[in-house]
Structure 1
Amino acid sequence: MRTSNVLFLCTGNSAHSQMAAACARTLSAGLVEAHSVGSRPAAVVNPLTVLVMQEAGAPFSGARPKHLRQFLGMRGDHIITMCDNARDACPVFPGEAQHLHWGFDDPAAAAGTPEERLVVFRRVRDEICDRLRVWLPESGALETVSR
C-alpha cells in the first residue's frame, strides 16, 4: 500500500503552492504525500507564507522553493496548478494523474502595507485549506493505493 502523491504547482513556489502542500499534509494526517513546486521558483519562501502557516498550526520548517524539473519523473496521482501561469507551464507527468486547476489569487503579488498584505495571505491560506477540506475526502486521495 502507498499514500497518494499530490503535486501543487505555481509560478514562484513561494506562497500559495507552499500553503496548499502544508495544509494537505496537515489535513491528511500523513495519508497524502504533498509537494509544491514552481515553474520559475523564487529564491526563498515568502516570510508571510511561513507566518500564516505557522499561525494555522501547519508544520512548515525547512520549506524552500523547488523547480518542477525536480519532480518530472515522479508518479503523481493528482497534479494541481494554483495559477494560470503554472497551468500553461505544466508538463506532462507519467501515469494517469488527475490534473486540476485551482485559480487562487497570488498572495505574493499583494500590494499595500505589511498589515494589508498579511490580510491577503491569511485569506488565501483559508481559501486553500477550505478547498482542501472538501477536495481531499472527495478525491480519494485519503485512501491508500495498492502498489
Structure 2
Amino acid sequence: MSPQPVVRVLFLSMGNAARSIMAEYLLRRLGHERFETFSAGVLPRGEVHPLALKVLRERFRLEPTGARSKSWEELQGEHFDLVITLCDKAHEAWAVWPGRPRAAYWDEPDPVAFEGSEAAREQLFLQVGRELSQRLDLLCALPVEKLLHLPHGDERVAAPL
C-alpha cells in the first residue's frame, strides 16, 4: 500500500495574528500528519495575539511553539495544494497563487478587531477557535483524493468545508 499524500495547506488572513494561526495549529493536530500547515497575512500585525495563544493552550491543549505573524510574501515560492482565506479582505486581496492550488473561503470574524470587555474578547476568540475546529474536522473527514479535486485557484468558491 502506497503512503497517503500529504496535503499542503495555507491559511490566509489579513493580520496573521489570530484566525489563521489558530487554524494552522488546530489542523496540525486534527490532521494526523495528512496535512502540512502554514499561515500568513496580507498585512501581518507582526505578533500573534495573546488571546489566540491562550485559547490554543487552554481550550485545545495545544502548544503553539514557533507561532509567529508573517507576510504571505515569505511563502510566495512555496507550493500549496489548498489555500483557505479566512476573511473578506484576504479573499479579495488574494491573487491566484502560483501553481493553481485549490481554494476555499471561510469567513470568520476578526477577534483581534473586536472591541469589548476582556471577557467578551476572550469569548469571541474561543468562538472562532470552535468554529475553525468544526470546519477542520469536516476537512479532515474528506479523503485526500477529494481534497485534491476541489476547484483550482482560478475557480475560487465559498467552500462550506
The normalised TM-score by structure 1 is 0.91
Which one of the candidate residues 4, 21, 36 is aligned to 2:39?
36
Which one of the candidate residues 11, 30, 45 is aligned to 1:27?
30
Larger RCO, structures 1/2 (Cα 8 Å, 6+ apart): 1
Q: Is the 8 A contact 1:32 1:142 kept in 2?
A: no
In structure 2, what is the Cα distance between the partners aligned to 1:141 and 1:125? Answer: 27
Partner of 2:134: 130
Helix, strand or coil: the match of 2:52? helix
Partner of 1:17: 20
2:93 is equivalent to residue 89 of structure 1: yes
Q: Is the 8 A contact 2:46 2:70 kept in 1?
A: no
Residue by residue over 1:79-111, the C-alpha shift from the partner in whole angstroms, topping out at 9 and shown as x without a partner, is 000001101111222224111100011111111
Helix, strand or coil: the match of 2:33? coil
2:151 is equivalent to residue 118 of structure 1: no
Partner of 2:113: 109
Helix, strand or coil: the match of 1:104? coil
Regions of 4+ moved over 3 Å: none
- Structure 1 alignment gaps of length 5 or more: none
Partner of 1:78: 82
Instruction: Give the length in aligned residue pairs.
Output: 144
Aligned letter for 1:97? P
Deviation at 1:139, TM superposition (A): 5.8
Q: Is the 8 A contact 2:8 2:81 kept in 1?
A: yes
Deviation at 1:61, TM superposition (A): 1.6
In structure 1, what is the Cα distance between the partners aligned to 2:145 and 2:15? Answer: 25
Aligned letter for 2:35? V
Deviation at 1:142, TM superposition (A): 9.8
In structure 2, what is the Cα distance between the partners aligned to 1:139 and 1:24? Answer: 15
Q: Is the 8 A contact 2:17 2:49 kept in 1?
A: yes
Aligned-residue Cα RMSD (Å) equals 1.9
In structure 1, what is the Cα distance between the partners aligned to 2:61 and 2:146? Answer: 20
Cα distance change on mapping 1:10 and 1:35 into 2, 3 Å? same
In structure 2, what is the Cα distance between the partners aligned to 1:88 and 1:121? Answer: 23
In structure 2, what is the Cα distance between the partners aligned to 1:96 and 1:123? Answer: 32
Identity %: 33
Residue by residue over 1:40-79, the C-alpha shift from the partner in whole angstroms, topping out at 9 and shown as x without a partner, is 0002100000000011112302211010011111111000
Deviation at 1:141, TM superposition (A): 7.6
Deviation at 1:8, TM superposition (A): 0.2
Aligned letter for 2:93? A
Partner of 2:159: none
Deviation at 1:135, TM superposition (A): 1.5
